[in-house]
């Protein structure tokens, strides 16, 4: 999650929108399982 926050501060998601944030989070959750 810290990774995502870091990217947000860097403006990473401004170009992609919130949907990609959700995608990234669910992908990380799948990897963790």
Going by C-alpha positions, the residue among 18, 24, 19 that lies closest to residue 4 is 24
pLDDT at 26 over 80: yes
Higher pLDDT: 21 or 28? It is 28
Q: Quickly list H helices, 1-33.
A: 2-9, 18-32
Percent of the chain with pLDDT over 70: 61
Task: Count Cβ atoms below 10 Å from residue 12 Cβ, excluding itself.
Answer: 14
pLDDT at 20 over 70: yes
Distance (Å, rounded) from C-alpha 10 to C-alpha 22? 17
pLDDT computed for residue 16 by the predictor: 65
pTM for the whole thing?
A: 0.40
User: What residue spans define the domains of the chain?
Assistant: 2-32
* Residue found under tokens 């990609």: 20
């Amino acid at each position: 999650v810290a990774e995502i926050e870091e990217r947000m501060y860097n403006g990473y998601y401004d170009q992609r929108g919130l949907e990609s944030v959700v995608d990234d989070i669910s992908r990380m959750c799948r990897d963790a399982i």
